[in-house]
Amino acid sequence: MIRGKVNLNIPTNLVFKTEGITKSVQRGDVIIVIDVLRCSSTIVTALANAAEGVIPTKTVKEARALRKKHSEFLLAGERRGVKLKGFDLGNSPLEFSPQKVKGRHIVLTTTSGSKAIISSKKAKHVFAGAFLNVEAIAKATSKIAEREETGISLVSAGTDGQFSLEDFICAGAIAESFPATVFIHSDAVLAAILAFKQAKQSLKKVIQSGYHAQYLISQGFEEDIKFCSQLSIYKVVPFLKGGTIVSLEKSLSFC
């Protein structure tokens, strides 16, 4: 690393609510949308299993309209954690197997994550991050931020705009993987790094203690929590390109 880069002091920032995204976009930050349970984890898994692209929509109506227009698209998503009527898939990453998603476009509408991604769409660089792809997302986004001398905003999509334990810890995991000498972390990012460091030895157990995990477990999704708690098992970097989330490796020569 050359000395000039060491002194860049690129700011990182943690955004808790969708409203905060506007400021991040205005600053020209690289955006990483984190919705561990389960939107981001599902997107990462779908792309890792060779889906062609994931198209997030805010509403169920938009999702159905897209499918009507493109009958070859898979329709996926949830409200209150549960698969929607007539949809091919819910929002459980375990459903997004290579057999089901390889080569397919998937329309995805979820309570929080899809909306946060769409709220970020005016940004030049929008990514989806989860525990599943921590190392890959940290590497790709920090390279872009260094090259373009922009900040990075980690967006904790949360549940209904509430503070989310798993998203906060995941933000810390990603920030901990950034090159330490190049970035200046905000207080919230510093706190998230501390929380991740403390949590990482028993990540699944910690995530299970969170509010949304408890709700998902009550709905029969305990296996999803286990799956989504795995660190860096995928190298895929989901990147928003013209309204569709695609694998960065496939779409561009950033890395």
> Nearest distance from residue 100's CB to its own copies, in Å?
32
Q: Which of 206, 216, 236, 248 binds its own copies (CB under 8 A)?
A: 206
Residue 147 burial (10 A CB sphere; 0-12, 13-18, 19+): exposed
Contact between 211 and its own copies (CB under 8 A)? yes
Q: Considering only residues 103-122, where is the footprint of its own copies by CB under 8 A?
A: none
Burial profile 196-232: b = 16 or more Cβ within 10 angstroms, e = fewer? beebeeebbebbbebebbeebeeeebeebbebbbeeb
CA 107, 249, 152 angle in degrees (round to 5)? 85
Q: Which is nearer to its own copies, 22 or 162 (CB)?
A: 162
Q: Which of 9, 22, 59, 198 binds its own copies (CB under 8 A)?
A: 198
Contact between 144 and its own copies (CB under 8 A)? no
> Nearest distance from residue 151's CB to its own copies, in Å?
15
Q: Which is nearer to its own copies, 199 or 236 (CB)?
A: 199
Q: Which is nearer to its own copies, 72 or 160 (CB)?
A: 160
Q: Which is nearer to its own copies, 60 or 191 (CB)?
A: 191
Q: Which is nearer to its own copies, 79 or 197 (CB)?
A: 197
35/40 Cα distance (integer angstroms): 5
47/110 Cα distance (integer angstroms): 17
Q: Which of 22, 26, 59, 209 binds its own copies (CB under 8 A)?
A: 209
Q: Considering only residues 153-192, where is the footprint of its own copies by CB under 8 A?
A: 162-165, 168-169, 186-188, 190-192
> Nearest distance from residue 164's CB to its own copies, in Å?
6
Count of residues in contact with its own copies, rule CB under 8 A: 24
Q: Which of 22, 194, 223, 243 binds its own copies (CB under 8 A)?
A: 194
Q: Which is nearer to its own copies, 97 or 219 (CB)?
A: 219
Q: Which of 175, 210, 224, 227 binds its own copies (CB under 8 A)?
A: 210
Which positions touch its own copies (CB under 8 A)?
Answer: 14, 16, 162-165, 168-169, 186-188, 190-192, 194-195, 197-199, 206, 209-212
